[in-house]
Structure 1
Amino acid sequence: MAWRDAKASKVRLLLFMASIILGISAVVSIQLFSTNLKDNIKSQSKTLMGADFIIDSRQEPTERAKAIIDSLKPNASEVNFVSMIAFLKSGNTKLVKVRGLEGAFPFYGEIKTAPENASSEYQKNGGALVDATLLLQFNAKVGDSIKVGEVKIPIAGALKSIPGSSAISSSIAPTVIIPYRFIEATKLLQFGSRKEYQYFYKVSDTLNLTRLENKIGKVLDAENADLDTHTSTTERLGRRYDNVGKFLNLAAFIALLLGCIGIASSVHIYIKEKLKAIAVLKCMGASRLQSFLIFLFQIAGIGIIGGFIGSLIGVLLQLLFPYLLNEFLPFTLEISISFQPILIGILLGLFMSVLFALLPLLRTWYVSPLDVLRVDEKASQEPKKIRFIVFGIILLFLFLFSFWLIQNALYAFAFVIATLITFLLLASVALGFIKLIKRFFPKNWNFTARQSLLNLFRPNNQTVVLVVAIGLGTFLISTLYFTKDILLSKTTIEQSSKDANIIILDVQSSQRKKLSENITSKNLPVLSNIPLVTMRMHSIKGRLVNDIRKDSTRKIRRWILNREFRTTYRDSLTTSEEIIEGEWIPTIKQGDGVKISIDKRLSKDANVSVGDDIVFNVQGVLMKTTVGSIREVDWSQIEPNFMILFPAGVLEEAPQFSVFSTKVPDEKTSALFQRDLVDKFPNVTVIDLRQIFTVVEDILDKVSWIINFMAFFSILTGIIVLIGSVRTSKYQRIKESVLLRTLGAKNKQILQITAFEYVFLGLLGSLVGILLALISSFALAIFVFKEPFFPSIIPFVVFLPGITLLVLLIGLSNIQSVLKSSPLEVLRREA
């Protein structure tokens, strides 16, 4: 019976299946991708690092740290820093990451170069490996020379890849590898230079890296050095890419939820049409269980088939993700097909279809044989207790499934509650609209308009079902669109005409005057000359930092204790700073206590507030300070910002270096200016912000593309679900349209009646959905993203008329068979 009835209703059931396929395909593709990502990170853990473990330090290791490093016998070492290099043939300059390597690094994976032997011979021959893209950019080739600081080095090969680097990091500061022995001769490592020392180790598999990390990790921390094993590093990497997975999972969850709406609305209308047939079956002796199982088998079978097809589509879709995220990954993503997500997809299709179809299915259990004669649509209603139990199970499923995807119980609960409130609001609006029409029915309107309004509250009306389906679909689509706008608004880069576009770092005190004169001699402005003083925290609120490190119950974040802070001093605040607590002291008079201003994040992570004491170690000299104020700093501003700000009159005599900024009018002037600076001041680092903007904007364009892709996928799912819901409703109106035609109604009148009804439904559902999306997106912007919310007009000018028009077109297509054929022919075909 299930098979025979399904064959007769295949078009309706195919639309029901479409809802399942799209939701399942989104979930399976994203779950497969997440599984592949985790497996790749795990299997390539050593290759990602190139070693079993690394000890690194942001300064030259202390005696105690050096003793530990030497006792473990490093197999290779490196010092890296960001600097300018010059191509001697063309005279072009570029900001790069210089890596001075010694030893046979990497021990896992390989340095890929052209020619291939360059990676094994560059140290012996004294050559440099230069990023391949950089060579193409400046039309340089193997055999040409570059100048790194005071040293001229021939280019030994084009660097294609090295373990641990990604396309993004290479695009901002391309890598140049030189032999370690040349580093001292470059004279680039001066006071204040940002540098990193790394020592690479290869050990036997029998060594317990976790025990080693626990044993010497804290000792190295106390010496401002870190030990990173390949396992701990890949765990951090996995957590980093979890954020990507969470966003994709959210999009998949929305697609699945839209699918669930499609299932519920389609089956509700489908079963309502079958109630008379079920009553006839019961008159002929069919039991409750038999009539229930006929349709349960139908829905379960469609769920399994839909889940299987959705899983296959998901397998194909996940093949796209490596191409989308390739530049964000520091390794090549290898795709393998795991059976688990496919099995989950099939089971999810079965469970989802049965669960969301359960409420209308239960109505088959309570159908009475007398319903053959009854006209009242509420003649066979399931008990309220059963209804509430089913609703509870559905809500529990939504919570558990969203928790599985999002991995956050609070967010999962909030999402389910928001969806439930939206569902109830839409249903209330639909019921309220029905009551308003009944009470204020326009009796003076013409026949077609009155007839279409009557359809909204007559028996077998589809107002509540379609308003909820259209409204909830529009709500989720619009929320996703508004959220996409919030996310993308964070990826915009604006630069006013007055802002600096050249930053000059690591300017020594003895070079300040000459460099300033060099800038002004080229008719360029010196926009800023900011002194920088490096220091570390010695004690916080009377407790020594070394003692705090040993305290496992400390409330102070680890980075505070190990960081070398770069601070400045001045007598005024900038436009990117605002005092939120305490009082800013611009100048300190001799003999007064030193009152500093700190960033609010530092205040939170260091567990200090206004009035607390902090003692700093300023290059060997201890300085006692008191927190005088806490600032809100806008770190998105592309200008030097500082976590710790000293007033004027304190640090002027401390060892320091400077940061200059200027503005150049065009690329040609910038290139000539940088070339001259690198020639006269080889130790300084020049950052051309326009090049950084170009790189960052390119990266953000890719991020935007991914967000838009996932938004489009979910929006497409929502539209197809709406099509399914409205299309399924056709079977409720065919007999009424045939009856009207039999009574003498013209095709034009039937078209008008249908058009008015679907325009009312489309407008009401989509308008309420967009308004609710506006409220939810405002809450997301304020409480989750903590960003200002400027709603886009697109949902109102595109989604509102677009969805209404879509509903109208599908509604009109529903009655084409009535208009083209005789009434008797239509009734026979539908029977």
Structure 2
Amino acid sequence: MAWRDSRASGKRLLLFMASIILGIAAVVSIQSFSANLKENIALQSKALMGADFLIDSNQPPTERVQMIIDSLGGADGKAVSFPSMAVFPNSGDTKLVGVKGVEGGYPFYGELETIPVDAGTSYQQMNGALVDATLMLQFEVKVGDSIKIGNTLFPIAGELVSVPGTGGVGASIAPPVWIPYGKIEETGLIQTGSRVGYDFYFVAKTDQDLEELDRVVDPQLDIENSDLDTHLSTGQRLGRSYENFGKFLNLVAFIALLLGCVGIASSVHIYIKEKLRSVAVLKCIGATRKQSFLIYLIQIAGMGFFGGILGVLTGLLLQQSFPLLLQGYLPFEVEVSLAPQAMLVGLVLGVLMSVLFALTPLISTWFVSPLQVLRVQEDKTTQSLKSRLLVLLAIMIFIFCFAFWLLGDWTYSLLFVLGILIVFAILGGTAILFMRLVKRFFPTSWGFTARQSLLNLFRPNNQTAVLILAIGVGTFLISTLYFTKDVLLAKTSLDATEQAPNLILLDVQTEQRDAAAKSIATSGLPVLNNIPIITMRVQQIKDRPVREIILDTTSTINQWILHHEFRVTYRDELIASETSEDGSWPSENTESGLIPISLAENVANDAQVGIGDKLIFNVQGVLMETIVANIRTVDWARMQINFSILFPSGVLENAPQFHVLTTNVANANASAKLQRKLVKQFPTVSIIDLRQVLTVIEGILNKISWVINFMAFFSILTGIIVLIGSVRTSKYQRIKESVLLRTLGAKSKQILRITALEYLYLGLLGSGIGLVLALLGSFLLARFVFETAFIPSWPPFIIVLPMITLLVLLIGLFNSKTVLQSPPLEVLRKEVS
């Protein structure tokens, strides 16, 4: 019976099955790609590191660290890396690059791809440099030309096409340049304050247990402010970073699937309502409640299974585009393959969610009386209400479990379910409220066409609630993404004033400071900041030495505090990005002999200290006893130089230090001219053009936004399919209404206007509520998460709102065409039969 009935009625539910297909395709494509990504990271973890494990530090190895390196058989390769300015002598152009001095056979895994091919080894013998291929193309240099790093001129031995483990944001801001390890000292770039990384690479012995090595050796290195990373731990860490983004995309896709399920529930509601008389007939000839219920349940489950198969196939095709979308942001090429788990998830979701969301209308078949053959009755029993509540509870539990499976966190999963409920409740509640308001305050003075279009919003078998829900959620997602992206860009944007620095000089030594400032001034530009910076580490927190805390496995102090090399400055005032939270700055009262300091709020929280607590710092061998006199919040997202720790003036002036100078240049040409001048005078100084950094950040946000919008598009597309399906499912009801209107004298043009106005209301109401919710959600994000002012962007108002409204209107009119073309006699014959 299920099969026979579906052959006659299947087409009516086909469009709603399409919405399930889209949602499953979105989930499967992301799930499958995430599985492929995790698998590729695991397989290529050695190639990503270039070795089996490494020991790294931001300082030359101490005696203890060197002993550990020797005990492991000595490093098979080593490197020192740091950012610096590069000069191309042929043109005089300059660029911030990531310099890496390499010794030994590194990389031991993966491919160092160069042009020419042998340049990967010959650059060591000829004391040359390997330069990023994109950088060479940008500055129009070729193999055989020269590049100047610090005080040394290197012949360019080849182009770096692919380097194990590099890529992404860092390579976009500071492209890689490789030089021989032995030439580093000649460059003169390792000075006071230079941020240098020392890496020692190892190839594991055949029987070496890397997990055990990590467990035993890493704590010993932590005490020496060094670290051990195996290719296994590095791969897991990298996998987690990409997995988080995948989880978010999965939730966006899951919302599209939920919308499809709402469409299923709506269509099944109308479908079953029209089948109630058939169910009554079946019961008259001996069918049991269970049989009549299972007939339609099997239909829906079959539709979900078939939709799941098509959704899985569509998702696997869609998955092929993900490596292209993320190209340039992954440090390796992803090989796409089948992911059985993702395919199984798609099939289970198709069946389970179709059945779950169809159960509420299906339950009504259980309570149909045989008398309904003779009359139509609405039998809302208490038992039916209980069943509906149980189904609703089952749906909520399923959504929560699926969210927990994706996120792995009870709190976030609960918040996701609550967020879905709130958005759906507001949209659904608004639709119901709107219909009630129209009923109560019906504009009887309006013309016939306008009145009838409003009446259609709450006619029998209306789809007002489900359409507003589908349209609203899609609009909400896309608009929220637009607004949030603008908030992030606003946080990183530069103030367009002459007092806002946009060019930063780093690693300026004390003896270079005055000359560098004079050079900026003679170029007609202001020196906005001249900031001294001193490096130091925490030696003791309260009464406990840091080494003791590191060894204490019960300590809850954040580990980064114990290992971090802080860069601090001294001044007696707070700047625009800082707000005092507790205490005063400059300090008014301090204990004798203790130096008052100001801590950023996050540092104070992670170190578990407050006002009056004592800290001892190691300033390059000199111990300084301090007391926390002030705690302040810092807006780290602002494009300016901020510090975790402040000292007062009159304490650190004679400590070994370097300086940061900032200025404001009017345009890119002026910036390039000043950079060439400064690098020529001070080859060891690094310069950052903040506008270039901002361009990179904006590009990344645009890329991520595009991917997320691509997923949100599924929600909009699902809403469109729900809209088409709603019109087609209730088409016969509309044809009967059309016949009645024509009998009363209405013309086709009037009916067309009625339909146009109805869908105009639905489009405006759905997209308008979605936009209002997006404004509210983005405001809350800006206020409480990003802690910044919210200024909404215009695209959602001038593009998203009118476009979605127009789309709803056109689809509604197109699908209502057959309603206008149906002859009245044809409908009357059907009624008689």
SS where residue 392 of structure 1 aligns?
helix
Aligned counterparts of 1:151 and 1:424: Cα–Cα separation in 2: 67
**2:602 paired with 1:601:** yes
8 Å CA contact retained: 1:192, 1:506? yes
SS at match of 2:506: strand
Q: Specify whether residues 665 and 734 from structure 1 end up closer, same or farther in structure 2 by C-alpha distance, changes over 3 A only.
A: closer
Q: Alpha-carbon deviations, 1:365-419, whole Å to 9, x = none?
A: 2211211222344579962121111111111111111222233322222232333
- Taking only aligned residues, the RMSD between alpha carbons, in angstroms, comes to 2.7
Corresponding residue number in structure 1 for 2:33: 33
Partner of 2:484: 486
Tell me the SS of whatever aligns to 2:504.
strand
Which stretch of the first structure deviates more once superposed, 21-30 or 682-691? 682-691
Report the counterpart of residue 286 of structure 2 in structure 1: 285
Report if the CA contact (8 A) 1:536-1:565 is conserved: yes
Could you tell me which residue of structure 1 aligns to residue 468 of structure 2?
Answer: 470
Q: Which residue of 2 aligns with 1:43?
A: 43
Tell me the distance in 2 between the aligned counterparts of 1:768 and 1:167: 38
Please tell me the residue identity of whatever aligns with 1:647. Answer: P
Q: 1:407 to 1:803 in 2, by over 3 A?
A: same
Contact 2:483 2:778 in 1 (8 A): no
The aligned amino acid for 1:37 is L
Counterpart secondary structure, 1:327: coil
Deviation at 1:644, TM superposition (A): 0.5
Q: Deviations over 1:726-779 (max 9, x none)?
A: 432223332233344345544345445545555555555555555455444544
- Does the C-alpha gap of structure 1 residues 468 and 770 become closer, same or farther in structure 2, counting only changes over 3 Å? farther
Instruction: Work out whether 1:238 is the aligned partner of 2:236.
Output: no
User: What do the CA deviations read for 1:136-178 (whole angstroms, capped 9, x no partner)?
Assistant: 1222111122222222221111111111101432221111111
Counterpart residue number, 1:703:
704
Alpha-carbon distance in structure 2 between the residues aligned to 1:784 and 1:672:
40
Report if aligned partners of 1:593, 1:626 keep a CA contact under 8 Å in 2. yes
SS of alignment partner, residue 623 of structure 1: strand
Amino acid across the alignment from 1:474: G
1:410 and 2:408 matched: no
CA distance in 1, matches of 2:685, 2:793: 45
Q: Provide the secondary structure at the position in 2 that maps to 1:490.
A: helix
- 1:82–1:588 distance in 2 versus 1, CA, 3 Å: farther
Moved more, 163-172 or 228-237: 163-172
Residue 532 of structure 1: how far off its partner (Å): 0.9
Distance of aligned partners of 1:184 and 1:785 in 2 relative to their CA distance in 1, 3 Å threshold? closer
Question: What residue number does 1:107 align with?
Answer: 108
1:665 Cα deviation (Å)?
Answer: 3.8
**Which amino acid in structure 2 is aligned with residue 281 of structure 1?**
L
Q: Is the 8 A contact 2:364 2:384 kept in 1?
A: no
Give, in angstroms, the shift of residue 245 of structure 1. 0.8
Kept after mapping to 2: 8 A contact 1:471/1:766: no
2:557 aligned residue: 556
Q: Deviations over 1:223-257 (max 9, x none)?
A: 11111111111111111112211221121111111
Aligned position for 1:723: 724
Q: Supply the AA of the counterpart residue of 1:396.
A: I
Structure 1 segment 488-527 matched on structure 2, within 5 A? 488-492=486-490, 493-498=493-498, 499-527=500-528
Q: Distance in 2 between matches of 1:326 and 1:36?
A: 15
User: Residue in 2 aligned with 1:567?
Assistant: 568
Q: Per the alignment, in what secondary structure is the counterpart of residue 549 of structure 2?
A: helix
Deviation at 1:60, TM superposition (A): 0.9
Equivalent residue for 1:145?
A: 146
Amino acid aligned to 1:490: L
Cα 1:661–1:442, aligned 2, differ >3 Å: closer, same or farther?
closer
In 1: Cα distance, 2:342 partner to 2:419 partner: 28
The DSSP-based 3-state class of the residue aligned with 1:539 is strand
Whether contact under 8 Å (1:26, 1:252) holds in the other structure is: yes
Instruction: Report if the CA contact (8 A) 2:536-2:565 is conserved.
Output: yes
1:630/1:726 CA distance change after superposition, 3 Å: farther
What residue in structure 1 maps to residue 352 of structure 2? Answer: 351
**Rounded Cα–Cα distance in structure 2 between residues aligned with 1:331 and 1:578:** 42
State the TM-score, normalizing by the size of structure 2.
0.93
Q: Counterpart in 2 of 1:21?
A: 21
- Contact 2:537–2:565 at 8 Å: present in 1 too? yes
Task: Please report how far the alpha carbon of residue 805 of structure 1 lies from its aligned counterpart in structure 2 after TM superposition.
Answer: 5.0
Judge conservation of contact 2:481–2:709 (CA < 8 Å) in 1: no
**Is the CA contact (8 Å cut-off) linking 2:457 and 2:464 kept in structure 1?**
no
Which one is further off, 532-541 or 577-586? 577-586
* Pair 1:264-2:265 in alignment: yes
Query: TM-score scaled to structure 1, two decimals?
Result: 0.93
Alignment of 1:334-483 (within 5 A): 334-378=335-379, 383-433=384-434, 435-441=436-442, 460-462=460-462, 465-471=463-469, 473-483=471-481
Structure-2 residue corresponding to 1:93 = 94
Q: Partner letter of residue 713 of structure 2?
A: F
Instruction: Give the match for residue 82 of structure 2.
Output: 81
SS at match of 2:617: strand
> What is the CA distance between 1:815 and its match in structure 2?
4.5
Say if 1:262 and 1:721, in contact at 8 Å, map to a contact too.
yes
**CA distance, structure 1, for counterparts of residue 579 and residue 356 of structure 2:** 54
Write the distance in 2 (CA, Å) between the matches of 1:56 and 1:275.
73
Corresponding position of 2:324: 323
Letter in 2 for 1:729: S
The answer to whether the 8 Å contact 1:587/1:648 transfers is no
CA distance in 2 between partners of 1:645 and 1:218 (Å): 30
Equivalence for 1:298? 299
CA separation of 1:272 and 1:773: change in aligned 2, threshold 3 A? farther
Q: Is 1:66 matched with 2:50? A: no
Of 488-497 and 648-657, the range deviating more from structure 2: 488-497
For residues 509-549 of structure 1, what are the alpha-carbon distances to aligned partners after superposition, in whole Å with 9 as ceiling and x for unaligned? 22222222232233332222111111111111121111111
Partner of 2:634: 633
The 3 A distance-change label for structure 1 pair 76 and 347 is same
Deviation of 1:25 (Å) = 0.6
Look up the SS of the partner of 2:656 in the other structure. Answer: coil
Distance 2:711 2:287 in 1: 48
Residue 715 to residue 745, structure 1, CA distance change in 2 (3 Å): closer
Residues 738 and 300 of structure 1, relative CA distance in 2, 3 Å threshold? same
Give the match's secondary structure for 2:328: helix
Which amino acid letter does the alignment assign opposite residue 44 of structure 1? Q
* 1:62-85 deviation digits (Å, cap 9, x = unpaired): 111111112211100111111112
Paired with 1:148 and 1:472, the residues of 2 have a C-alpha distance of 58
Matching residue of 2:227: 226
Structure 1 unpaired stretches of 5+: none
Corresponding position of 1:2: 2
Q: How many residues align?
A: 828
What secondary structure does 2:327 align onto? helix
Which amino acid in 2 is paired with 1:340? Q
Distance in 2, Cα, partners of 1:670 & 1:445 = 65
Contact 2:568 2:647 in 1 (8 A): yes
**CA 1:828–1:317 in 2, change beyond 3 Å: closer, same or farther?**
farther
Q: Deviations over 1:75-123 (max 9, x none)?
A: 0011111111222222222211111111000111121100001112221
Whole-angstrom CA distance in 2 between matches of 1:419 and 1:694: 35
2:677, 2:450 → 1: CA distance? 80
| Counterpart-to-counterpart distance in 2, 1:2 and 1:688 | 69
- CA 1:696–1:803 in 2, change beyond 3 Å: closer, same or farther? closer
Q: 1:781 to 1:533 in 2, by over 3 A?
A: closer
Superposed CA offset, 1:275-319 (max 9, x none): 122223333333323322322222122111111111111111111
Q: Distance in 1 between matches of 2:502 and 2:615?
A: 36
Aligned to 1:122: 123
Q: Secondary structure of the equivalent of 1:491? A: helix
Residue in structure 2 matched with residue 189 of structure 1 by the alignment: 190
Q: Partners in 1 of 2:522 and 2:794 — Cα distance?
A: 50
